[in-house]
A and B are shown apart, each in its own frame.
Chain A
Amino acid sequence: GAGVSQSPSNKVTEKGKDVELRCDPISGHTALYWYRQSLGQGLEFLIYFQGNSAPDKSGLPSDRFSAERTGGSVSTLTIQRTQQEDSAVYLCASSLALGDPEAFFGQGTRLTVV
């Protein structure tokens, strides 16, 4: 596609439910990143993928968070047993390769946990 695509754009969920967020990177981009932006805050790094592997999971806030990427393309970020503090905008970015200076962001998924 022309840009990084994320879905859904908005998600409201009840506390305790699981949610799945999807990111479709720019075609041909091997590196994919997930960030979280809480209200009025900067971007908090969550996890990155090079191809299908995620060598660094240290940014995930808790074991309720997991992410996978299959086929070197689409990635899903799953949050289990959502809590109100999980409410944020989840941003996905991709770049041609890991360490490439140009990373392009999607529009984000706004998650609200009620």
Chain B
Amino acid sequence: GEDVEQSLFLSVREGDSSVINCTYTDSSSTYLYWYKQEPGAGLQLLTYIFSNMDMKQDQRLTVLLNKKDKHLSLRIADTQTGDSAIYFCAVLPGYSSASKIIFGSGTRLSIRP
């Protein structure tokens, strides 16, 4: 089945860019997502990209998809303290019976002054 991997921790300085990386195994994945989970809160859908796209930009967020390497990244420009959270990479597998989004373990982003 599909496997989604991401590093557990990332620390960046306030104002710098954060880049969170993710790899997945199913090359036929259709949609790829980034969710944000703040402490004590549920998951918030940040953005998603369809597999026929290489890049999607939404204000401070840039998603890059490298289908050849099965690599997805989320770049947060001008990182702020409010960006501190756990970021989950997730994919919707491409096989016909796929109905559930598969999540990585999450990357905890911490911001230092």
Contacts and interface: CB of A to CB of B under 8 A. Distances in A.
Interface string A68-104: 0000000000000000000000010100001101111
A102 B45 contact: yes
Main DSSP-derived SS at the A contact region: loop
Interface in A24-70: 31, 33, 35, 41-43, 45, 48, 50, 55-56, 59
Nearest to A95: B101
B99 A98 contact: yes
Given A56-B99, A99-B92, A99-B98, A105 B43 contact: yes
Interface in B62-113: 88, 90, 92, 97-106
A112 interface: no
A112 B67 CA distance: 40
Interface residues of B, number: 25
Nearest to B40: A107
A101 B31 contact: yes
A44 B20 CA distance: 21
A56 B99 CA distance: 9
A99 B103 contact: no
Interface string B12-28: 00000000000000000
Interface residues of A, number: 25
A91 B100 contact: no
Interface of B: 4, 30-31, 33, 35, 41-45, 48, 50, 88, 90, 92, 97-106
26 contacts: A31-B99, A33-B100, A35-B103, A41-B105, A42-B104, A42-B105, A43-B43, A43-B103, A45-B100, A45-B102, A48-B99, A48-B100, A50-B99, A56-B97, A56-B99, A93-B43, A98-B99, A101-B92, A102-B45, A103-B101, A105-B35, A105-B42, A105-B45, A106-B42, A107-B41, A107-B42
